[in-house]
Amino acid sequence: MRKYPLPWVPVTCAAMLSAAALLACSRSSPPAPAPQADATSAADTSAVDVYSQSFSDADGKLQPLSQWKGKLLVLNFWATWCAPCVAEMPDLEKAQQEFTDRNVVIVGVGTEDASRVRGFRDQHALRLILLAGGYDALGLARGLGNTQGVLPYTVLVSANGKVLRTQTGPLQPGQLRSWLDAAP
């Protein structure tokens, strides 16, 4: 039996590789900048809209953010599937315990439903306030300057409702403590 060469195989492979390369180039973007605090643009932002928001906690009870008016409020937007978010949770909990006597409240605003947030809280034995914001949490984060939709995203709101600091991406070691120590 005579074998016939299959000239279309190399041509097809070459075409597929070219298409893959073209697709990869069209989807590529410049590397993302390193996470950084954005104090200058956040300094003039009012957090009035923050206080009009309410989210369910991990147990399904509605929690208005307005209950923390008059306190220094840290909002940390996170998700259970986000490794950097999960990694910074123990530090957020430690900071909450450390700064409770200084009129500080740290709230984790999850981007998922209450059952996922509750499962996460229970699995990690967290006492930190965790809310389930779903897509509304992403909208609030966007309104507070997270135009890239990056998680985690942390916002420091003054006792009188002004956004003092924001952090796109994970907090660096000691960063939150320095924010809180320097806050009015």
User: What per-residue confidence (pLDDT) applies to 172?
Assistant: 92
Residue 179 to residue 174: CA distance in whole angstroms: 9
User: What per-residue confidence (pLDDT) applies to 32?
Assistant: 36
Which residues are bridge partners to 60 per DSSP? none
User: What per-residue confidence (pLDDT) applies to 1?
Assistant: 52
Q: Is the pLDDT of residue 114 over 90?
A: yes
Going by C-alpha positions, the residue among 30, 65, 20 that lies closest to residue 47 is 65
C-alpha neighbours within 13 Å on the C-beta side of residue 156:
25
Where would I find the H helices in the chain?
Answer: 8-27, 39-42, 83-99, 114-124, 134-143, 175-182
Residue 11 to residue 18: CA distance in whole angstroms: 11
Our CA dihedral for 136, 141, 144, 148, rounded to 10 degrees, sits at -130
Residue 118 to residue 100: CA distance in whole angstroms: 22
Model-level pTM greater than 0.85?
no
User: What per-residue confidence (pLDDT) applies to 160?
Assistant: 84
Domain 39-182 has CATH 3.40.50.2000: no
User: What per-residue confidence (pLDDT) applies to 184?
Assistant: 83
How big is the CA angle at 121 (ends 58 and 77), to the nearest 5 degrees?
A: 75
Mean pLDDT of the chain: 81
For residues 39 and 106, which has the higher predicted lDDT (pLDDT)? 106
Q: How confident is the model at residue 3 (pLDDT cuts 50, 70, 90)?
A: low
User: What per-residue confidence (pLDDT) applies to 42?
Assistant: 43
Q: Is the pLDDT of residue 175 over 60?
A: yes
User: What per-residue confidence (pLDDT) applies to 46?
Assistant: 57
Least confident range of 25-29, 69-73, 74-78, 158-162: 25-29
Query: Which residue's structure tokens are 């135009």?
Result: 147
Q: How confident is the model at residue 106 (pLDDT cuts 50, 70, 90)?
A: very high
- For residues 133 and 55, is the Cβ–Cβ distance under 8 A? yes
Average confidence (pLDDT) over 141-160: 94
Residue 22 to residue 151: CA distance in whole angstroms: 29
Q: Is the pLDDT of residue 148 over 80?
A: yes
Cα distances from 91 to residues 123, 148, 182, in angstroms, run 16, 24, 18
Least confident range of 13-17, 46-50, 124-128: 13-17
Q: Is the Cα dihedral 65, 67, 72, 78 positive or negative?
A: negative
